[in-house]
Structure 1
Amino acid sequence: MIRVLLYLLLILLFGCTSQEKKSPGVFFAGEIVNPTGDKIVLYKGDKVVDSSSLDKNNRFSFQFDSIAEGLYHFDHAPELQYVYLAQGDSLVIRLNTMDFDESLIFSGTGSEINNFLLELFLANEEEDSKISAWYELEASEFLGKIDELQKEKFETLGELIKDGNLSQNQRNLAKASIVYNYNTYKEQYPFRHRRYSDHGVLEKLPDNFYQYRKSVDYGNEQLTYLRPYYEFMVNHIQNLSFMSCTKECQMKEGVVQKQLHFNEHKLHLIDSLVSEKELKDNLYRHVAFNYLLKVHDYPENNKRFITKFHELSNNNRHLDEIDELYEGIENLQPQKSIPDVYVTNFAGDSLSLREIGKEGKTVFYFWSAVDKKHFNSIKKRVAELTVKNPEYKYVGINMKTSKDTWKGMVEDSRLNKDQQYRAHDFSKLTKSLIIYPENKCVITNDAVIVDAFSNIYSAFR
């Protein structure tokens, strides 16, 4: 009843009428309760279509004379969500950032597909923990439970289709959202199930287990930025690579030993299977970032990987970003000087990291006011290390925090002010030091890198 009343309220607020369906234009508007920013940004894929500032009543609106039908997403930092737009739509939303997805409601012309995709998204989030518990089941029982969930979603979609308010493109998108979401769980099953196996290895699966792979679409442009489809593709490529290069990659207790070969194999699979250019570029990017950021391979292996990447995807739309990451990692190898990035001390003086670490052993760690829990945890860990390993200087670099907030947090925390700094340029700092993951620390000796990819919690153990 509450949702119905909100639908009616939104229609009255923005004056959406059935007459607007006759227009070839598109109207998309809404109200943001408890906004976290001053605008809404509309994207098609990863490209900005338009932005709209919130007015004094926290409302926004977009109006287009014409627009390509398909899946878009709107961003109100730090959150984002889908919106499907088609010619003639008059679509209105209302949401509360305190409960972003759960409070979101679509109304007006074009709301049917959007509310269905939203309810599907919420249902998938709710089911995830339940499905995780099913990985210990035998394959046939697991398949039965997954297929039952999928059947329920198709029954709901069938009722919506009966109403006649969905175009063929919208039906296809809705079906793909259901199918690829549940097929992702099937791709993950063998690897999750082996944790419960007596032997800890992949077991033989029923002959029909991968039956769904016969209908995988590797070239549908409309699905490229559909989350269930993309996540399926990532897991699918991972699974195929693992299964097909077991011997060459040298497995040890189910873990790949030759990461270079394994990731090169992924690149070749993407090249041979995926026909849609933008999807192919995005998958290549995923493999490159995963390998370069997480594996921390030898420099010669990194070079061989990036050479292979250029060979297969030299016109990749993300090429500059990937090359920049590779060069950043090369600059952080042992025996090289720490990048000459400038930060500000408590007195407001500007110093480079090389100046700060020029004498003795130093550990650079990173924190932000955005995550107070992480800050408190880091603070505790630094206190422990200061006692256990007093020969090191522990230097905190703050990111994405205003000067006053940063100073206040340092003073309240009782951290050593002389060893706390604030980044001038967050983007330059993260690119130069490859700050990933958040617990990363950089260990130097006289400003020369000892380990640029250490973890503040596992260091010195």
Structure 2
Amino acid sequence: MIEIHMLTKRFIVIIPFLFLFVGCHFKGSTTSEYAYVGGEIINPKNKNVILYNIEGKIVDSIALDSSNRFIYKIDNLQPGLYSITHGGEYQMVLLEANDSIMFRLNTYDFDESLVFTGHGSKKNNYLIKTYLSNEKEAKQLVKYSKMEPEEFDRFVEERRQHQLSDFHKFLENKNESEFFKSIVEANINYSAYADKEIYPFAYFGNNKLIHIKDLPEDFFGHRKDIDYNATHLSRFFAYNRFLSSHIENLAAHGYYDNNDFHSKFDRHAMNYNKLKLDLIDSIISDETIKNNLLKYKTIDYVSHNHTEADANTFLNYYIDKSSNDEDKAYMTDLVSNLKLLRRGNPLPNLAIVNYNDTEHLLNTIIVKPTIIFFWSSNSKSQYRNSHYMVNKLKTDFPQIDFISINVNDSDDKFWKQIINNYNFPTVNEFKFKNSKQARKTLAVNYLNKAIIVDEDSVILHPNANIFNSEFKVTLEELLQKKHLIARQDAF
């Protein structure tokens, strides 16, 4: 799944506020409602940063000076969540009138804490604190979901109230805006609400999801407090995570209206996914929020290994509901590209470059069944976990090759430095020669995607996920069909 823009953790260290103003170039004119945002990029990947407004539209591309610093004045400021990108890095910042937010960013390290300095920094530091806390808790959801429903409900609510209490203590003797308060409270609340919506899928699983109807009557009591059209939160991770899981949950209740009571839940069923689009269309009126959800849910469906007819049917169903022409063109193009990636088709022959800067065509390096997996220099946990998982798979499936492809457009030195820092084997480590076009051709919409091909570069599975709990079973079934492993019942 495409990653939704979020308030991501980045490694920022405190720097004196005035320090960054020395030698920096100011851009922007003079108005009464304004804010400054600036910083220093350590080990920059290019010579500019891009600033986006609260609607996600580009405000300006800001050049770094000779010291890799920048400062920008935003005139006619609309209070809200702005974002800055650099070389694939993404950071959101809450800006209000007269703020001067500064940070220092080192592109070589992604796991250190983020600390803002300057006027308006306290609220951004607190927002980052709540985000990181909720992100940590979200990673524990699989463990928490083993709790019985009443226990889980109580646990999540107590945690939410504790976070709200800490926030109210933080506000004592501080003159923060109501807007800031609403943002932090939304982050706390919607993170908890998302956990509640995701819980049934983890607790019951596909075989027993029918029992979602047996949850305590007040388990979803939070739904009375939902704002489905919170425009100011439309690019906020906690809010989007909640809406996405909430739609999945609502549609699950309707799933069994058209399926046998005891049937296994199928998240890829056409009717279930159409119901998700129907729900989005009926309960959300904000065009930005609605169109984004419609797009992501459609990508989820068409990226699975459906028939061409099903993909086209669903695409048309989506087009009738979306009002974003750019999104509709993107989805039409995606479905067209996915047709070429269907099982049994030859793998597109793309140019790749190895660690020693030698160019190859992808198909020419495939000599036996192969899993092609992808990673980004901007996602440390993903590239560490994917290589770790592949090492385990190599032991279990010695008859298979693994090709690792970095998807970044940045200079090779960043790619190679990660390989060296983590001692990844340089054999079978590649980059795309033309990353943008290659990602489009192979429909790499999310990093956990993997493509399985046979020794002739014929596609066996166009959209596998090596982290999926059923991946090994899927792989074994494919290899059995290729007679590369014996069936388990033969022993």
Q: Same fold (TM over 0.5)?
A: yes
Tell me, yes or no, if the aligned pair for 1:96 and 1:103 is still in contact at 8 Å. Answer: no
Distance of aligned partners of 1:249 and 1:284 in 2 relative to their CA distance in 1, 3 Å threshold: farther
Instruction: Answer whether contact 1:344 1:424 (CA < 8 A) is retained.
Output: yes
Confirm or deny that 1:440 pairs with 2:451.
Answer: yes
Distance in 2, matches of 1:361 and 1:134, equals 41
Answer yes or no: is the 8 Å Cα contact 1:332–1:449 preserved in 2: yes
1:67 to 74, 77, 85: 77
- Paired residue type of 1:292: V
Q: Does 1:307 align with 2:326?
A: no
The reply on whether 1:141 has 2:151 as its aligned counterpart is yes
State whether residues 449 and 463 of structure 2, in contact with CA within 8 Å, keep that contact through their aligned partners in structure 1.
Answer: no
Distance change >3 Å, CA 203–CA 214, structure 1 → 2: closer
Q: Work out the CA distance in 1 between the residues paired with 2:375 and 2:227.
A: 42
Relative to structure 1, the CA distance from residue 290 to residue 96 in structure 2 (aligned partners, 3 Å threshold; closer, same or farther) is: same
Deviation at residue 130 of structure 1 after TM alignment: 4.9
Distance in 2, Cα, partners of 1:270 & 1:200: 22
| C-alpha distance after superposition, 1:108-164 (max 9, x if no partner) | 222232122111012213333555433222222222221222112222322344435
- Amino acid in the other structure paired with 2:169: E
Shift of 1:222: 0.5
Give matches, 1:252-401, under 5 Å: 254-256=264-266, 259-293=269-303, 295-334=304-343, 336=345, 338-339=347-348, 341=350, 356=364, 365=372, 371=383, 388=399, 399-400=406-407
Is 1:10 the counterpart of 2:19? The answer is no
Question: If each structure's helix is expressed as a fraction of its own residues, which one has the higher value?
Answer: 1
Percent identical: 25
Q: Which position in structure 2 is the counterpart of 1:121?
A: 131
Please, which runs of 5 or more residues in structure 1 have no aligned partner?
A: 1-5, 17-21
TM-score normalised by the chain length of structure 2: 0.74
Between Structure 1 and Structure 2, the one with more strand by share is: 1
Counterpart in the other structure of 2:184: 174
Higher relative contact order (CA 8 A, sep 6+): 2
Read off the aligned partner of 1:224 and give its amino acid letter: S
- Contact 1:54 / 1:60 at 8 angstroms: preserved in 2? yes
AA paired with 2:307?
Answer: Y
Instruction: Indicate the larger mover: 181-190 or 75-84.
Output: 75-84
The aligned residue for residue 7 of structure 2 is none
Superposed displacement of residue 312, structure 1: 1.6
Q: CA RMSD in A?
A: 4.1
Amino acid aligned to 1:300 = A
How many residue pairs match? The answer is 433
For 1:38-69, what per-residue CA distance to the aligned partner results, in whole angstroms no more than 9, with x for missing partners? 43322234322223333343422111232221
Q: Which amino acid aligns with 1:223?
A: L
The one-letter amino acid paired with 2:479 is F
* 1:200-219 equivalence runs, <5 A: 201-202=211-212, 204-219=214-229
Distance verdict in 2 for CA 1:249–1:62, change over 3 Å = farther
2:173 corresponds to which residue?
Answer: 163
Q: Distance in 1 between matches of 2:144 and 2:167?
A: 25
Gaps spanning 5+ residues in structure 2: where? 1-12, 23-30, 378-382, 467-471, 481-491
| Cα offsets for 1:202-249 (capped at 9, x unmatched) | 462222111111121111210101111010000000000001222314
Residues 374, 214 of structure 1: alpha-carbon distance in 2 compared, 3 angstrom cutoff: closer
Match of 1:460 in 2: 479
Structure showing greater Rg: 1
What secondary structure sits across from 2:158 in the alignment? Answer: helix
Local SS of the residue matching 1:29: strand
Distance 2:461 2:385 in 1: 26
Displacement of 1:334: 4.7
